[in-house]
Each structure stands twice: as structure tokens, then as C-alpha cells.
Amino acid sequence: MTDDPYVVWHQHALDQAARESLMGHRGAVVWFTGLSGSGKSTLAGAVDVTLHQRGVHTFLLDGDNIRHGLCAGPNLLLEEHGEEFARRFGLGFAPMDREENIRRIGAVAQLMASAGLIVLTAFVSPYRRDRQRVRRWVAQHCGEEAFIEVFVDTPLEVCEQRDPKGLYKLARAGKLSHFTGIDDPYEPPESPELTVSGASLPPQQLAGQVVDYLQQRGIIPETT
């Protein structure tokens, strides 16, 4: 729904089912969520490779990559677009910026799933309400079964020990604000479709769990 009477949803001649028929599998959004350093991106990448090897059409949306374009920060926009534009549309890491970050990503992921792709998203996405909004949006346009939340459950102490980008160290030193798990909260999913332990098993084994779940759910065909 929109308050603008001149903005009307356009129904395409080709629907999602037709596109999925061409792909040979369902379109879906597999949403990996967890703390920084939990292993989300590594796991999503392993799932991406495994599905590609099986002939499944996928695309991986990663948090850092998205922040270079679709959800760029003010500093990246400043030179080309100017200060006012950068201030208005650039995204930082305060709660409202995070909300808009996930809203944009969710809208893009839904469009890609409607095209018959399996979209793998690796984002901290710390707030339940934001993830639930994406779930509702995907369900509305792609079906209830098309959103699959995967909680990469890795203890904070393990994430801090890994600290691949040195961000926890900066946050503990007070040099990085709004960092999830330190001075901003992380709200774990209450009813994710799948929970995996990012501390106990290698990524390829965890990827197998995700792929098996996609088969069981009927998103991708079983191997013959």
C-alpha cells in the first residue's frame, strides 16, 4: 500500500512460477544472521559454491560489499554527490541507519527471489523487527516458504577471539561506536528456520546442513 495514488504496483506478464520453471528450482531468500565474526559470510560463501556446483542459480549479498554501493556511507557519497546528498542518503551504523540498511537489502533480495534466484544474504541484522519486516515483505511477494532465517550461533567470546577485522578491539577501546555485541545489542532470532553452530563445525559441514534443509523444504530438487 502507498499514500501516493500515482504509484501503483505493476504486474509483470511473467510471474515467479514461470521464472522458477526456467531455473529448475524455487526462488528464495536465505538470511544468515549472527554477530560479526560468527562465520556468516564464510558459511554463505560455502553454500553459494555448493549450490552453484549443483546447477542452482544463486547470488550472494554480503554486508561489506553492499556498503560500497547500495548502502554506502556518507564518506563514499560525498565526493560525487555532495555534502547534503551524502548526509541524507549515506548510511552509518546508528539504529536508524541499520534499519534502512536492512530495508534496502530486503527489497533487493525480494526482487531477486521473484526472478527465481536463491539469494544468500550475510548481514549482522541485529534487530528482530527489521528481520521480521523483510520476512513479511518476502512472504507477501514470494510466498511464506520463501524466507529462510539461518541463525549462525557463535558465542561472543569466540567472535572476539577471531576478530578478523580488528573491530572488537577498536570497540573495546572506545574507538568504534554502535558496535553490535559491545555497545549495541544483538537480538537473536526467536524461531529461525535453522540454527547452526559457527564455533563447532567447519563451514563446509555447516553448508551441508543448509543445503539439506533447502532440499527438505522443496526449494531445490534432491540430487539423483
Considering only CA atoms, give the Rg of the chain. Answer: 18
Q: Please say if 41 is a catalytic residue.
A: no
Query: Which one from 36, 125, 177, 200 is the annotated catalytic residue?
Result: 125
Question: Which residue, 162, 150, 169, is CA-closest to 37?
Answer: 162
Report the candidate in 215, 219, 221, 213 with the shortest Cα–Cα distance to residue 193: 213
Residues 210/118, Cβ–Cβ less than 8 Å: no
| Rounded Cα–Cα distance for residues 97 and 95 (Å) | 5
Asked whether 211 and 222 are in contact (CB, 8 A), the reply is no
Alpha-carbon distances of 123 from 22, 63, 80, 168, 218, rounded to whole Å: 29, 5, 27, 17, 25
* Segments in the chain forming alpha helices (H): 16-23, 40-53, 63-66, 74-81, 83-89, 95-114, 128-142, 156-162, 167-172, 203-216
Active-site positions? 125
